[in-house]
Structures are given as structure tokens and as C-alpha cells.
Amino acid sequence: MKAFAAATIFLAYLLNAPSSYAAEVASRAPLVQHGQVLRGEFVQHRHLAGFGAPLRSTGQFSVAPGEGLIWKSLVPIPTTVAISLHGLVQTSGGTELMRLSAVQAPQFAQFYRFLEAALAGDWNALAERYDIVTSRDGEGHVILLRPKNGGGMLPFESVTITLDRFVTGIVIDRHGGDSDRIRFSGIAVDEGGLGDGERTLLESTAQ
């Protein structure tokens, strides 16, 4: 009887072993290559402990691997954030609100690397800084990231990414009980690359 129970537990473990999914997910090539741009829309709910309701914002994003990320909120505050390895520029209505170099605020460069890898599905890049546990969710996958070595400069407790072909959602649980829940839709790979305005904006992060 004991042997049967042990065999059952072992079989159940094998069937649910995350490593089998991990291998499958890790074997995927990144969804977007250099020269391409991943574009889509987002709805973000920021849950802040002690606040009456989550802060909701919606907008569009563009990720160009190696070049940068543009996060364009439309509601409630029209604002654009461009982040690259060189720094961050935030504008609203054509007015620059904030500019930070990667030297001043290296955490933004780390955040850019994280978000670019997560949206582009570059799991190997994420595996350098996170322990990755994958599991299946219907037709899609759920990927749980836990920061290695304390997480570096990003105050993340854990990150949960859901994906089918593209990433459909990211939940970032932060230290202190705050969390961001971002749903993505309409994601597509733009073979045409960045537009001139986008390129100028990203290049401006290096100034």
C-alpha cells in the first residue's frame, strides 16, 4: 500500500513537474527580433496599499529590442515614457516632465531590460536574474519569476507572466504589498521597425 502511495505521489510529481514546461518555454525563440517592434495596448491597475481603489491607466506600448521601450498612457494622464539602457525621458503634451540618465538612476535600465525581456519573451535573458517556474494554464503558460540575489535594484517580490503566443498579462508584486496588474491586447510584431518620432524619442534618452 505504501509503495502504491509512493508511486502515485511520484507519478503526480512527474506529471506536474514544472521543469517539463520550463524546457518547452525556454526553447522558444524571442517573439521579436532586432529591427522589429512589438506593439500593443495595455490596461494597468496599480494596487497601492491603503488607497481607496486601484489606479487605472490605459494606453499603448512599443518595444524595440536593444533600442528601447515607449509606454504611452492615454487615460487618465496623457503621458509618454521612453526608457532605454541610457536613461528615461517622460513627457506630457510635448513638455518634458522628467529626464534621468542611467548613471543617475540605474534601476530604470534594469527595469527596461526586465520589461523588454518579458514582453519579447526572452526567457533566457530573464533566467540570468530570476528563478523561473513555469506551469500550464489551459492553452497558455504561467511563468513565475522570483528574483535571484535579492532582486538587484528592482523592488519585486515576484512577477507572474501569462502568455499564449504573446504575453497577455504581467502581475508585479512589490515589496510592501503594492502590486501592478497589466493586461495586454492587440499585440503584433511590426516588421517596419520604429517610426522616426519613436526613434528620436528613444535617442533622446541618451542626451
Partner 1 sequence: MIGLFRALWVGVVIAALVYLGFAVADGLRFDTDMLALVPPAEQEPEYRAAVNALSADFERRFVLLVGGEDDRNAIAAARIVARAVEGTGHVERNTALSPSGARSALLDLYLPYAGQLLSSDDRRRLRQDQGEAIAQRALAQIFSPASFATSRQIRQDPFQLLPAFLASLPPPPMREARQVGPDQIYSDEAGRSWVLLDYRLLAEPYALRVQRRIESALASAERDNGGAPVLRLGTLFFAQSGAETSLREMSLIGGASLAGIVALLVWTFRSIGPVWQSVLALLTGVVCAVAVGTALFPRLHVVALLFGTTLIGTTIDYCMHYFCTAFGPGGASAQARLRHILPGVILGVVTTLIGYAALVLAPFPGLRQIAVVSSAGIAAAALTVLLWFPVLNRRITVSRGRLPMSIAGLAYHWLRRPRYRLVRSCLAMGVVVAGMAGIALLQINDDIRTMQAADARLLDEQRRVREITGLAPALQYILLAAPDHGAALQREERLRSRLERLRGQGAIDGFTMAASFIPSPARQLEDRSLVRQKLEGPMLARQRAHLGLLAPKAPGREVSGDTVLTFEESSVSLPFLKNLAVTTEDGGLFHVVPLRGVKDEQAVQRAIVDLSAARLVDPVGGVNKLLADYRRWAVGILALSVGLMFALLVWRYRLLGGVRALFAPVAAIVLTPGLLALVGHSFSCFDAMALILVLAVGADYAIFCAEASQAWRRVTLLAILLAALTSMLSFGLLAFSSNFAVASFGFTMLVGVLLSLIFAPVAFARPTRPPK
Using CB under 8 A as the criterion, which residues of the chain lie in contact with partner 1 when the complex forms?
A: 44, 46, 48-53, 55, 57, 71, 73, 76-77, 79, 81, 83, 88, 90, 92, 95, 97-98, 100, 103-108, 111, 115, 149-150, 152-153, 155, 174-178, 180, 182
**Shorter beta-carbon distance to partner 1: residue 1 or 53:** 53
Give the separation between CA 46 and CA 8, rounded to whole angstroms: 42
β partners of residue 142: 135, 162
Contact at 8 Å (CB) between 31 and 120? yes
**Shorter beta-carbon distance to partner 1: residue 93 or 138:** 93
Q: How far is the CB of 107 from partner 1 (least distance, A)?
A: 6
**Shorter beta-carbon distance to partner 1: residue 29 or 75:** 75
Q: How far is the CB of 77 from partner 1 (least distance, A)?
A: 5
Contact at 8 Å (CB) between 161 and 146? no
Q: Cis omega (within 30 of 0) on the bond before 54?
A: no
**Shorter beta-carbon distance to partner 1: residue 70 or 132:** 70
Contact at 8 Å (CB) between 57 and 44? yes
